[in-house]
C-alpha cells in the first residue's frame, strides 16, 4: 500500500485536489491518503500557516499531492509553496506543456517540457532596504544548483527521445549569475552530444515561444524565468487549467499544478481540474504505476479533445465535478 500526503490547499485547491484524488482512486491503484493542510483556511482555524503535521506527514510518506495555496502579496510569510520546495530541496520543477484540445488548440500538437530550477535565483527572496527609498534583491545561483537542474533536463531529454534542450537566460546583462548558470549548462551539454543544445535570451525566448513554439523541445531555466515561461506556455495550450507540475528532489516529491488558488473562482465548482489530475498522473508514474498513469492521461485527453464535458475555460459548461465524473466514465470505457 502506498501512503501519500494529501494537501488540499485553499481557494480552488480543495475542489481540484479532490477531483485528482478521486481519479487516482478510480484507477484501482491502492493509495492510503493522509490528509493535512496548510494555508489561509488553516491559519484562520489554528493560527499557524503550516502546522507541524504537514512536515511530519511529508517526511514520513516522502510523496505528496498538493492543491494550490494562496500567498498574500506584500508583507508577511513569503510563500508556503516556495518554503516547501526549499525545505525539501525539491530542485527540479518539471512542467509538461501539451496541447490537448486537438484542432481547437491555438498550437495543435505542441509538446514542450519546462525544467525550472526550483530552489535558487531571485526566489530566495533575499531583499533589503538600503534606505527608505532604495531596496535591493539578491539573486543566488550556485554551480551545484545549476548543474543538477541541467542534469535533470538532459537526462529526461535522453530517456524520452527528445532532440533539443534550450536554456533561457539573461547572461548578456546578469553576467555573473546567469553567466555561471550558462557555464554549468554548457558543461552538462557536453556530456550529451546526441542532444542539441541551444541558448536563448529570455526576452527573445518569450517572443519566439509565441511566434513559433514548435522550434522548442525541452526548456531549462532559472527559477523566476521558469515561473514566467510556465504561465506563458500555459497560454499557448489553452490556459492554466491544463498544465500540471512536479517538484522533485532526491527522495521527496510534491506534485501540484502550475496554477494558483484562483480565489475568485473558489467554491463555485467551476475550476478546471485537469492540471491537478495530470499532476496526479505524474505521481502515479513516480510510484511506478505507469499503466494507471497512462489510463488517466488517455481519458483526460479524450474528454478535453471532445470538448463537451469540459469547464468554462475550455469552452464548455460542465462543473468541476461533472468534468471529473466524465473523465472517470471514460477511464471505465464509457
Ligand atoms: P492563478 O493561477 O491562481 O490564477 C490566474 C488565472 O488563471 C485565474 O484568474 C483563472 O482565470 C485562471 N485559472 C487558474 N487556474 C485555473 C483552473 N484550474 N481552471 C480555470 N481557470 C484557472 O494565479 P494568481 O491569481 O496570480 O494567484 C492566486 C494565488 O495563488 C496567489 O496567492 C498566488 O501566490 C497563489 N499561487 C499559488 C501557487 C501554488 O500553490 N503552487 C502557484 C501560483 C500561484
**Active-site residue flag, 203:** yes
pLDDT in tens, 5-60: 999 999 999 999 999 999 999 999 999 999 999 988 888 888 888 999 999 999 99
Non-local CB neighbours of 172 within 8 Å, separated by 6+ positions: 201
Length of the chain: 334
**Domain 111-236 class in CATH:** alpha beta
pLDDT score at 76: 65
The helix/strand/coil state of 269 is: coil
Q: Supply the DSSP string of 304-334, one letter for each residue.
A: HHHTSS--GGGT----HHHHHHHHHHHHTT-
pTM of the complete model: 0.96
Closest CA to 39 of 83, 94, 87: 83
**Active-site residue flag, 227:** yes
Whether 316 lines ligand 1, by a CB cut-off of 6 Å, is: no
Taking the CA of residue 257 as reference, the ligand 1 atom at the shortest distance is 41
Whether 259 lines ligand 1, by a CB cut-off of 6 Å, is: yes
Q: Are 261 and 11 in contact (CB under 8 A)?
A: yes
Question: With 90 as the cut, is the pLDDT of residue 137 above it?
Answer: yes
Q: At what angle do helices 320-331 and 290-306 cross, to 10 degrees?
A: 120
Q: What are the start and end residues of each CATH 3.40.718.10 domain in the chain?
A: 1-99+238-334, 111-236
pLDDT score at 196: 98
pLDDT in tens, 241-271: 999 999 999 999 999 999 999 999 999 999 9
Rounded to 5°, angle at Cα 217 from 148 and 98: 105
Taking the CA of residue 245 as reference, the ligand 1 atom at the shortest distance is 41
pLDDT in tens, 56-69: 999 999 999 999 99
Report CA(260)–ligand 1 centroid distance (Å): 3
Whether 240 lines ligand 1, by a CB cut-off of 6 Å, is: yes
Report CA(186)–ligand 1 centroid distance (Å): 34
pLDDT in tens, 315-325: 999 999 999 99
Whether 279 lines ligand 1, by a CB cut-off of 6 Å, is: no
Distance, in Å, from the CA atom of 264 to the CA atom of 268, rounded to the nearest integer, reads 9
**Active-site residue flag, 217:** no
Cell of 27: 484507477
Taking the CA of residue 16 as reference, the ligand 1 atom at the shortest distance is 18
Report CA(262)–ligand 1 centroid distance (Å): 4
Q: What is the percent of the chain with per-residue pLDDT over 90, rounded to a whole number? A: 92
Report CA(264)–ligand 1 centroid distance (Å): 9
Residue 139 has a CB neighbour count (10 Å cut-off) of: 17
Report CA(266)–ligand 1 centroid distance (Å): 10
Residue 96: pLDDT band by 50, 70, 90 thresholds?
A: very high
Q: Which of 19, 20, 68, 245 to mutate to test ligand 1, by most ligand atoms within 8 A of the CB atom?
A: 68
Whether 15 lines ligand 1, by a CB cut-off of 6 Å, is: no
Report CA(161)–ligand 1 centroid distance (Å): 32
> How buried is residue 251: exposed, middle or buried, by Cβ count under 10 Å (0-12/13-18/19+)?
exposed
Atom 44 of ligand 1, residue of closest alpha carbon: 260
Residue 292 has a CB neighbour count (10 Å cut-off) of: 21
Cell of 8: 488540499
The helix/strand/coil state of 212 is: coil
Distance, in Å, from the CA atom of 311 to the CA atom of 277, rounded to the nearest integer, reads 14
Options 91, 123, 197, 225, the catalytic residue: 123
Average pLDDT over residues 226-247: 98
Non-local CB neighbours of 163 within 8 Å, separated by 6+ positions: 157, 195, 196, 217
Residue 309 has a CB neighbour count (10 Å cut-off) of: 20
| The domain defined by 1-99+238-334 carries CATH number 3.40.718.10 | yes
DSSP-derived pairing of the beta strands 92-98 and 246-248: antiparallel
Cell of 48: 499557524
pLDDT score at 24: 98
Amino acid at each position: 500500500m502506498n501512503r501519500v500526503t494529501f494537501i488540499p490547499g485553499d481557494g480552488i485547491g480543495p475542489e481540484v485536489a479532490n477531483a485528482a484524488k478521486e481519479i487516482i482512486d478510480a484507477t484501482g491503484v491502492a493509495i492510503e491518503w493522509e490528509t493535512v493542510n496548510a494555508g489561509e483556511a488553516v491559519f484562520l482555524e489554528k493560527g499557524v500557516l503550516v502546522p507541524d503535521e504537514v512536515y511530519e506527514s511529508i517526511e514520513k510518506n516522502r510523496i505528496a499531492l498538493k492543491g494550490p495555496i494562496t500567498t498574500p502579496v506584500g508583507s508577511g510569510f513569503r510563500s508556503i509553496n516556495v518554503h516547501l520546495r526549499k525545505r525539501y530541496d525539491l530542485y527540479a520543477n518539471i512542467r509538461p506543456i501539451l496541447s490537448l484540445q486537438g484542432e481547437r488548440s491555438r498550437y495543435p500538437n505542441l509538446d514542450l517540457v519546462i525544467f525550472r530550477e526550483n530552489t535558487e535565483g531571485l526566489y530566495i527572496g533575499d531583499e533589503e532596504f538600503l534606505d527608505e527609498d532604495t531596496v535591493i534583491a539578491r539573486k543566488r545561483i550556485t554551480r551545484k544548483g545549476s548543474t543538477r537542474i541541467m542534469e535533470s533536463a538532459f537526462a529526461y531529454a535522453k530517456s524520452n527521445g527528445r532532440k533539443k534542450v534550450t536554456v533561457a537566460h539573461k547572461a548578456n546583462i546578469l553576467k555573473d549569475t546567469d553567466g555561471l548558470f550558462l557555464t554549468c549548462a554548457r558543461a552538462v551539454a557536453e556530456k550529451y552530444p546526441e542532444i542539441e543544445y541551444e541558448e536563448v535570451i529570455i526576452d527573445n525566448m518569450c517572443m519566439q515561444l509565441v511566434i513559433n513554439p514548435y522550434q522548442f523541445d525541452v526548456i531549462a531555466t532559472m527559477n523566476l524565468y521558469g515561473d514566467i515561461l510556465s504561465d506563458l506556455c500555459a497560454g499557448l495550450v489553452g490556459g492554466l487549467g491544463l498544465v500540471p507540475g512536479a517538484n522533485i528532489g532526491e527522495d521527496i516529491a510534491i506534485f501540484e499544478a502550475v496554477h494558483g488558488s484562483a480565489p475568485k473562482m473558489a467554491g463555485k465548482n467551476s475550476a478546471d481540474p485537469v492540471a491537478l489530475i495530470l499532476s496526479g498522473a505524474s505521481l502515479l508514474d513516480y510510484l511506478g504505476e505507469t499503466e494507471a498513469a497512462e489510463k488517466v492521461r488517455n481519458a483526460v485527453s479524450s474528454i478535453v479533445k471532445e470538448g463537451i464535458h469540459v469547464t468554462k475555460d475550455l469552452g464548455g459548461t460542465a462543473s468541476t465535478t461533472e468534468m471529473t465524473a466524465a473523465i472517470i466514465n471514460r477511464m471505465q470505457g464509457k
